[in-house]
Amino acid sequence: MNRKAIRDYLDFLIDEFDIEEDEGLFTAENKNTLINISQNRVLLDLGKYAPNKFRKTKLISIAANKREYSIVSDLAITDFLAFNSIVHNVSGKRPTPLIEIDVEDEWLYEDEEELSYWGYEDKDNIFIGPKSSGTTADRLKSFYFPELADMTKDSDEPAMPIICRPLIAIDVLRIYTVTDEGSLSRVEVFYQTELMRTVEGLSMKSNFRATGLKPSIKEVIGSRDA
């Protein structure tokens, strides 16, 4: 399902929901812009339920007496959309998560001695605390959702599983109906229903996977040698 197919599905939904389309506002070019915006909104919605399907990892080195870290300069993340979590990365210990807090609440944790919390300083920086007295390479592991690249051609496809892509059109439809309370409520129910169906589909085992008793490794090797 490429950008054109998503736009075609959007046009179909507009007709099905009997939504009056303002041609002066929602041109094909504007629809393409909204599709690029919505693909990242959809990724974050899906990431709440199936984060492992969409997130990436990045190790974080801790510097002595350093509290604030630039997402681009210090963490070297250039496709950042949002963090899923940050966990301890210490050999032999469970990767327990740090607590995400608001910057205004940092004083509540000022007596902590071990790295225990993180938060957004602003859109470009995070803070991690309390400050460490030493420098440790790869001390933490972050899980983050990457921003999807804009689709610039109708043949381009969003970087997500095919089953997820219809949600992009439905999310754009929510933008269409934002000023129409009646239509918006119907579209919102439709979106949430399809979101849950998609999450269920992502979590299902392959329909082609064999069921029942599995052959022993000897049987498998023997069949290969036959």
Tell whether 210 is covered by a domain: no
Cα angle, residue 184 at apex, residues 11 and 178 outer, rounded to 5°: 85
User: Do 61 and 118 reside in the same domain of the chain?
Assistant: yes
Tell whether 108 is covered by a domain: yes
Residue 160 near residue 54 (C-beta atoms within 8 A)? yes
State the pLDDT at residue 179: 76
State the pLDDT at residue 205: 52
Number of domains in the chain: 2
User: Do 73 and 109 reside in the same domain of the chain?
Assistant: yes
User: Do 78 and 132 reside in the same domain of the chain?
Assistant: yes
State the pLDDT at residue 190: 96
User: Do 31 and 78 reside in the same domain of the chain?
Assistant: no
User: Do 135 and 169 reside in the same domain of the chain?
Assistant: no
The 117-120 sheet, strands edge to edge: 68-70, 125-129, 117-120, 99-100
Q: Which of 146, 181, 214 finishes a domain? A: 146
CA dihedral for 86, 88, 91, 95, sign (positive or negative): negative
State the pLDDT at residue 218: 52
User: Do 129 and 60 reside in the same domain of the chain?
Assistant: yes
Tell whether 155 is covered by a domain: no
User: Do 123 and 75 reside in the same domain of the chain?
Assistant: yes
pTM above 0.85, yes or no: no
How many angstroms separate the CA atoms of 226 and 223, rounded?
A: 5
State the pLDDT at residue 216: 55
How many angstroms separate the CA atoms of 180 and 143, rounded?
A: 37
Tell whether 154 is covered by a domain: no
User: Do 70 and 141 reside in the same domain of the chain?
Assistant: yes
How many angstroms separate the CA atoms of 214 and 209, rounded?
A: 11
User: Do 92 and 10 reside in the same domain of the chain?
Assistant: no
User: Do 89 and 23 reside in the same domain of the chain?
Assistant: no
Tell whether 89 is covered by a domain: yes
List the chain pLDDT tens, one digit each, 226 residues.
999 999 999 999 998 888 876 655 678 999 999 999 999 999 999 999 999 999 999 999 999 999 999 999 999 999 999 999 999 999 888 889 999 999 999 988 888 888 999 999 999 999 999 999 899 999 999 999 999 999 999 999 999 999 999 999 999 999 888 877 888 899 999 999 999 999 999 987 544 454 555 555 555 555 544 4
Tell whether 101 is covered by a domain: yes
Tell whether 172 is covered by a domain: yes
* Enclosing domain of residue 43: 3-50+160-202
User: Do 44 and 67 reside in the same domain of the chain?
Assistant: no
As a whole number of Å, the end-to-end CA separation of the chain is 42
How many angstroms separate the CA atoms of 52 and 36, rounded?
A: 22
Query: How many other C-beta atoms can be found within 10 angstroms of the C-beta atom of residue 175?
Result: 16
Tell whether 225 is covered by a domain: no
User: Do 59 and 141 reside in the same domain of the chain?
Assistant: yes
How many angstroms separate the CA atoms of 85 and 144, rounded?
A: 7
